[in-house]
Chains A and B, each alone.
Chain A
Amino acid sequence: MATTLLIANRGEIAVRVIRACREMGIGAVAVYSDCDRNAMHVRMADRAVHIGPSPASESYLRIDAIVDAAKRTGASMVHPGYGFLAENEDFAQACLDAGLTFVGPRPDAIARMGSKTRAREVAVEAGVPVVPGTGAPFDADVSDAVIARAAEAIGFPLVVKAVSGGGGKGMRTVTAAADLVSAVRTARSEALSAFGDAAVYLERRLTAPRHIEIQLLADEHGTVVPFVERECSIQRRHQKVVEESPSTVLDERTRHAMADCAAKVARAVGYTNAGTIEFLYDADGKFYFLEMNTRLQVEHPVTEAVTGVDLVQWQIRIARGERLTVSPERALTPRAHAIECRIYAEDPDQGFLPSPGLVRALATPSGPGIRDDRGVAPGFDIPVFYDSMIAKLIVSGDTRADAIARLGRALDEYRVAGVKTTLPFFRWLIRQAEFVEGRFNTQYLDRVLVERKGLRFVEARPADDDDAAVAAALAAWFDAHHAAADAPVPSTGAWRRAGRLDALR
């Protein structure tokens, strides 16, 4: 009987896993919430199971409903994607208890590396350098005074981090002692609602670090293969926005040193399947273990583009007990330069305010060196319940300059009709000297965004206004003369009329 795999996720990553299943002759089961009935991942799956109402806590985060869906559809494997339950050891355990193969690491590895403070301990024991900070976490009941004393010892600026955090949630930078209490409060509360754990710890903030990470695969027979690094320093509020590989700053020797450290951490916990070790790379060329992501990363296609290795297929093969046969040399040798942009339904000209709504039509780039990993099809109403990613655009070229030129071309071909997207922001970003010359760190983007003071990323020229006036008049003309045929559906007005954004901080 053919294998069937259930994807406990939605959006582009569910689509990505379905594609791997198709290529491997594996049946794909999607799960969906109320608002996702018409979502692309449901339309593409072989079978689909409704698992609850739209809020994630009542659907994509419900372990019982997902395990039940796997049983009902005869799935033998479960792929968690990223986000939602991907780093929840209880979910991994529940899958195992139900006799399902979890496509990911063992629950104990998730638990150990999922706690940022315990992960730091693992790195220290493995002889891998870590950023100075508090050793033990502060539970929810630790007083402000105790935290303040620890903060003084580390010094400012520092970062308050949720032990169970990720993706910038439950994380706040503090530059002065006066802001510590409110930062801890927000970080705790955000972490409690997102991860169910209010424990936080403190870490020194390096002055101008780059975020560089090492993807790795590890099989169940002791083989660990680290891959060429990904550079993810272009971040907005700790969220990666652009990722590329290789990094412009790592030399061959440092790449191998970092890869060795990553493999050491993975071996120290007997890690299996796909994972990523994140490092901070300081201006002086030193690097420090930051954390481990015990799952597939959003930016995995960048690595696939430069090495030609299909990471998702390997995840499934490793979970089936196969031996990892990717050669270490191939994994560490980039054969192209790749860049990924995360395209969100957000209005960059209004402080990246989420802009969900109906995607009326799409034009997507194609041609040489383009990959469009998308989870949204025309006619889909991007819900307010989840993150508003539309697609990841990945381009590759022989050199970084080739890749940037190709990215510019592809961004102009990409059109999402109906909602505001971050496309104009990327068109601006790739023309900035700092980006083109690779002169950036994790603070670069937040700094220039503050400096721009809300200036529009792309200003309409008078000629654009003329064209827009003509197009709007033509649209009105067709409305008046041929209204019924295919009148566009107005999207919700609430988002456009957003209130005082400058009151947001």
Chain B
Amino acid sequence: MTFEVDTNGRVRAVVIEAEGAASPSGGRFKIQLTGDADRVRSVVDCRRTELGFSLVFDDGRVVDVAATATGPGEWLLQFPHVDVTAAVDRRRRERAPSGGAAAAGEQRIKAPMPGRIVRVLVKAGDDVAVRQGLVVVEAMKMENELASPKAGRVKEVAVTEGMSVEGGRLLVVIE
């Protein structure tokens, strides 16, 4: 099987071929990695662990990695020293990108995390300076004042005080 894997913007084709019958608990695999310029071939003995995988490559190198699905085709790979996110076959999954890109210069301030709107400091039509506070969001017990990334005018305030918001929810539009 061939997978197209994107890690940190590097896209590689990974060809995986089971040597003999692989069971749900693991198996031996021939691996071929084709990337920008490099090309890696090896055989890996792969065992599934409670975290993810224990890999022993044919040169004896050991890799213990936690693997968590974070979305369709998206994986969080956690090594002892570093976390890496990987997208598998993204191009195959992605539909046409949605339209509605923000007009030039228009800034859409969104909730960076789920939380509660404690205060709305501006209203539509207000002129705002750069770094002027717009909305105060309480999340994880801390209050965070979201500031305007630019000087401009408030085009829209999409929330009211006391409202609970999901991460990514539109709060304010600055034009």
Binding site for B on A (CB under 8 A): 169, 182, 186, 189-190, 193-194, 353-354, 356, 360-363, 378, 384, 386-388, 412-413, 415-418, 420, 424, 427, 458-462, 464-482, 485-491, 493-505
Mind listing 12 A-B residue pairs with CB under 8 Å? Answer: A193-B143, A362-B51, A363-B51, A386-B140, A387-B140, A387-B141, A413-B80, A460-B8, A470-B55, A471-B55, A472-B5, A504-B147
Chain A residue at smallest Cβ distance from B169? A499
The smallest beta-carbon distance between A374 and chain B, in angstroms, is 16
Which of A189, A412, A466, A474 touches B118 (beta carbons < 8 Å)? A189
Chain A residue nearest to B114 (CB atoms) is: A384
Is there contact, CB below 8 Å, between B139 and A354? yes
Task: For A418, give its contact among B68, B84, B110, B136 (CB under 8 Å).
Answer: B68
Quick check: is B129 within 8 A (CB to CB) of the other chain?
no
Closest 8 pairs between A and B when the two form their complex, measured CB to CB: A417-B66, A472-B86, A499-B110, A494-B167, A473-B14, A468-B84, A482-B24, A469-B5
A480 in contact with B1 (CB, 8 Å) = yes
B161 to chain A, nearest CB (A): 11
User: Which chain A residues lie closer than 8 Å to B131 at the CB level?
Assistant: 505
The distance from the CB of A270 to the nearest CB of chain B, in whole angstroms, is 32
Q: DSSP majority for the B interface?
A: strand
**Proximity string of chain B (102-117) to chain A, C-beta cutoff 8 Å, 1 when within and 0 when not:** 0000000111111000
Given the contacts A417-B51, A458-B82, A465-B10, A505 and B69 also touching, CB distance less than 8 Å: no
Whether A465 contacts B168 by the Cβ 8 Å rule is: no
Chain B residues within 8 Å of A424, by CB = 81-83
* Chain A residues positioned under 8 Å from B138 (CB to CB): 193
User: Which chain B residues (129-160) contact chain A, with CB distance < 8 Å?
Assistant: 131, 133, 136, 138-149
Contact of A417 among B72, B78, B146 (CB under 8 A): B78
Contact A415 to B146, CB < 8 A, known contacts A471-B67, A473-B88, A499-B111: no
Contact between B75 and A475, CB atoms less than 8 A apart: yes
- Closest chain-B Cβ to A460's Cβ sits at a distance in Å of 5
Instruction: Evaluate contact between B143 and A503: CB separation under 8 angstroms.
Output: no
CB-based contact A474/B10 at 8 Å:
no
Supply 20 further A-B pairs (C-beta < 8 A) apart from A466-B38, A503-B149. Answer: A169-B141, A169-B142, A182-B133, A189-B118, A193-B143, A361-B66, A387-B141, A415-B78, A460-B7, A467-B55, A468-B5, A469-B14, A474-B16, A476-B73, A490-B72, A493-B70, A496-B71, A500-B112, A503-B147, A505-B131
Give 1 or 0 for each of B38-65: 1 = CB within 8 Å of chain A CB. Answer: 1010001010111111010000000101
The residues of A that contact B122 with a CB separation of less than 8 Å are none
CA distance A194 to B148 in the complex (A): 26
Instruction: Give chain A residues whose Cβ lies under 8 Å from the Cβ of B136.
Output: 186, 189
Q: Could you tell me the distance in whole angstroms from the C-beta of A425 to the nearest C-beta in chain B?
A: 11
In the complex where A417-B52, A424-B82 touch, is A476 in contact with B149 (Cβ < 8 A)? no
Residue of A nearest to B12 (CB): A469
Contact (Cβ within 8 A) A470 B31: yes
Complex CA gap A478/B88 in Å reads 13
**B166 in the interface, Cβ–Cβ < 8 Å?**
yes
Q: Which residues of A contact B80 (CB under 8 A)?
A: 412-413, 415
